[in-house]
Amino acid sequence: MGRHYSRAERIADGLVHAIGLALAMGACAALAALALPAADALRMAALVIYAGGLVTMLGCSAAYNLMPEGDWKGIFRRLDHAAIFLMIAGTYTPFTLVAIGGAWGWSLFGVVWAGALAGAMLKLVWPHRFERLSIAVYLLLGWVILLALGPMFANMSLQAIVLLGVGGLLYSLGVLFHLWERLKFQNAVWHAFVLAAAACHYVAVVSEVALAA
């Protein structure tokens, strides 16, 4: 289940989660305010899915990582790991359905969501199996968008593409700290990388999808 964290480490991780949840809820409210005046039904649905995936992931992570040992912690561990898959697919949704669109966008949407739902089910049913494989699948799903580089450059701004790339790199680099369990404050550092990556993707969603309505 992981190593024992000191009180200072738990406080640091708690602060990271509290800041992340507060910022995410405020950011999602701002996203709705920006998109509502002119957004069509597909755009709004994509943004709702994105916001739901982001808040669900951060909420489940906070519940699992800050909860004391006990039966409920094991349950939230399953939810936390499953929610990562939903966040990945949710982040893809506004870009695939709105920014890229067409056959490429819808195909990528289907592939990512199929993989994410299968991964989430795996983590809910067999939470302690295939741990390393799950990390590889997280990364694979996160980077599968590279298959659509051509459609991305044809339909998206360079700014959004760069933000998506930087966010992906931050997530990937953060995984190194997630695995580096001997490092002091390792969990807080890992979750800080998650927040930084999510912030990059949020700015891309705002500029490329919400404000493009």
CA 168 – CA 87 distance, rounded (Å): 13
Give the CA distances from residue 134 to residues 116, 118, 191, in Å, rounded to whole numbers and listed in that order.
Answer: 11, 11, 18
Q: Is 71 among the domain residues?
A: yes
Q: Domain range spanning residue 95?
A: 7-210
Whether 191 has a binding-site annotation, put simply, is yes
Q: Is 162 among the domain residues?
A: yes
Task: Give the residue-averaged pLDDT of 56-75.
Answer: 87
Q: Is 133 among the domain residues?
A: yes
CA 116 – CA 127 distance, rounded (Å): 15
Q: Is 1 among the domain residues?
A: no
CA 198 – CA 21 distance, rounded (Å): 12
Asked whether residue 164 carries a pLDDT value surpassing 80, the answer given is yes
Q: Is 106 among the domain residues?
A: yes
Asked whether residue 1 carries a pLDDT value surpassing 60, the answer given is no
Q: Is 2 among the domain residues?
A: no
Q: Which residue has the tokens 């699992």?
A: 64
Task: Give the residue-averaged pLDDT of 146-165.
Answer: 96
Domain count across the chain: 1
pTM over 0.95: no
CATH of the domain at 133: 1.20.1070.10
CB 86 within 8 A of CB 56: yes
